[in-house]
Amino acid sequence: MSKSRNKAPTTGDTGMEPYAGFAAVYDQIMAGVDYEGWVDYVESLLQHLGRRPHSLLDLACGTGSSTLPFAARGYRVSGVDRSEEMLQVARAKAVAAGLAVDFYRMDLRALRLPERYDLALLFQDGLNYLLAERELRQAFTGVRKLLLPGGLFIFDLTRPSLRNQSEELSVYWAEEEDYTLIWESRYQRMAETWELFLTVFITEGEGLYRKFQERHREKDYPPETVSRLLEETGFTLLKMLPTYRLDPAGGSEQKLTFVARRES
């Protein structure tokens, strides 16, 4: 069910950093995502390019669901995320699976790690959370420094302006056994951002619930801007594809995957 309202909610004193409280239910909400399929897609891209990387950096890794399948397939993997709450879940999952993965709490705009990698990945719209072109440039510059010469950077970006241009607030909700979620979103045309207000009630037992609210914002970046910034930060754009496909993008896709190579 859904309904619309004209006025956006405010988080007030209950507002939290994105993916702080959300971490407790994130894996339940994302249970239908085929993370193994993501790995298959990346490996198909690598095979198409004739590349066989050994070390891999998963940026904006969240709870590690996109990281651990690579470790299970024999890659040497590290994960980076801004949310300590999400990383705590990721570390616990790695221990439970018996996989050696280093997880680091770090902002995409200030990446510094002790080693360099053959491949960097950044999925799940992570770069869309950078709301200014200078921040996207900072992220690209940081990723380049963490790649070995000739290393690959594969990432996706969603196109909020192509997904929904209505500025009217849309409201969705879901009620599960362990939580109730209210999802309020709209596109802001002047700012070229998609804005989400998330309210979650988590069951604590005996009729009690814990409430938290988060505000998420995603910026729309045209492919031309992305291509230019990659070139300016020392990358060569090899491919721009509709996500999960290998044929070239036509320009109207709501989600794009970019494959770039770090030049020496």
Can you give the CATH number for the domain in which 154 is found? 3.40.50.150
Same domain, residue pair 86 and 174: no
Are 215 and 246 part of one and the same domain?
no
Say whether 30 sits in a helix, a strand or coil: coil
Same domain for 212 and 94?
Answer: no
Q: Specify if 245 maps to a domain.
A: yes
Do 52 and 79 belong to one domain? Answer: yes
Give me the pLDDT at residue 198, please: 87
Residues 169 and 38 in one domain: no
26 found inside a domain: no
- Domain match, 182 and 227 both: no
Judge whether 25 lies within some domain.
no
Q: What is the pLDDT along the chain (264 residues), one digit of tens a residue?
A: 233 333 333 333 344 566 566 677 777 777 788 999 999 999 999 999 999 999 999 999 999 999 999 999 999 999 999 999 999 999 999 999 999 999 999 999 999 999 999 999 999 899 999 999 999 999 999 999 999 999 999 999 999 988 776 788 899 888 888 889 898 999 999 999 999 998 989 888 777 888 888 889 999 999 999 999 999 999 999 999 999 999 999 888 999 999 999 998
> Within a domain: residue 214?
yes
Domains contained in the chain, number? 2
Could you tell me if 202 and 226 lie in one domain? no
- Please check whether residue 125 lies inside any domain of the structure: yes
Q: CB under 8 Å, gap of 24 or more: what pairs does 48-56 form?
A: 48/246, 49/152, 49/238, 49/259, 51/119, 51/152, 53/117, 53/118, 53/119, 53/151, 53/152, 54/118, 55/115, 55/116, 55/117, 55/118, 55/119, 56/117, 56/118, 56/119, 56/120, 56/121
Task: Show the domain range for 133.
Answer: 33-159+221-262
Q: What are the b/e assignments for 162-185, b being 16+ CB within 10 Å?
A: eeeeeeebbbeeeeeeebbbbbbb
Does 68 share its domain with 131?
A: yes
How far, in Å, are 42, 158, 165, 216 from residue 153 at the CA level? Answer: 11, 17, 30, 25
Q: Looking at the domain assignment, is residue 22 inside a domain?
A: no
Res 206: pLDDT: 78
The answer to whether residues 79 and 142 belong to one domain is: yes
Position 103 scores a pLDDT of 98
Same domain, 141 and 66: yes
